[in-house]
Amino acid sequence: EVQLLESGGGLVQPGGSLRLSCAASGFNFSSDAMTWVRQAPGKGLEWVSVISAGGGRTYYADSVQGRFTISRDNSRNTLYLQMNSLRDEDTAVYYCAKAFGDSSGKFDYWGQGTLVTVSS
Amino acid sequence: EIVLTQSPATLSLSPGERATLSCRASQSVSVYLAWYQQKPGQAPRLLIHDASNRATGIPARFSGSGSGTDFTLTISSLEPEDFAVYYCQQRSNWPLTFGGGTKVEIK
């Protein structure tokens, strides 16, 4: 059974940093691209970033480019999102999800999310 | 950036009725469009990928169609568990983008 478990969310002040983790199990983690998607309270889904299976290619939304860094440790089956220079508008539930097929852009399994609150 | 516009914003229907949800792209995305279902407090769930392919375990009452800029998600006969928010998402161009969602509510 595929499982994705996010952790690392919490309350942080504007300008602060946080690192999210996503522990994966039940599939061959090193074979699939992975992504982060966020959802602000009461709002829709917003794609954040994606990383290729091997970690060599990454893409970011303009809203987080230069502030967030996606990475992965295939030996630990874990995906990360380093978030720096956090802003109020980064407040959201952050979901990790796995890609499938020949694409890094469609996602078949999602974690339950971790809440990040940016506030003073 | 490709903008996805979903309509209507809210659809009020009764169980057993047919639901038709629309997603329009600001430029062609070929067939690279997916549909997700999200219930309150839950993660999104993949329903349809590449415009018309049902994901594993998705009931046959869900179907997707379209190509280019106009796409439709159809639920042939609404079950009580289908009342939720539905999002479309394109993977044709970076950045990936989602539509604003359609809420299917009980009439």
Asked if A27 reaches chain B (Cβ–Cβ under 8 Å), the answer is: no
Strand partners, A51: A34, A58
What is the C-alpha R_g of chain B?
Answer: 13
The C-alpha of A64 sits at a distance from chain B's nearest C-alpha, in angstroms, of 12
Cβ distance B32 to A105 less than 8 Å, yes or no, reads yes
**Residue B99 with chain A: CB contacts under 8 Å:** 44
Decide: B12 and B27 in contact? Cβ < 8 Å: no
Sign of CA dihedral B99, B26, B71, A107: negative
Q: What is the pLDDT of residue A103?
A: 81
* Nearest C-alpha in B relative to A105: B91
* 120 residues of chain A, pLDDT tens digit each: 999 999 999 999 999 999 999 999 999 999 999 999 999 999 999 999 999 999 999 999 999 999 999 999 999 999 999 999 999 999 999 999 999 987 889 999 999 999 999 999
Q: What is the pLDDT of residues B56-100, one digit of tens each?
A: 999 999 999 999 999 999 999 999 999 999 999 999 999 999 999
Q: What is the pLDDT of residues B4-60, one digit of tens each?
A: 999 999 999 999 999 999 999 999 999 999 999 999 999 999 999 999 999 999 999
Cβ distance B43 to A95 less than 8 Å, yes or no, reads yes
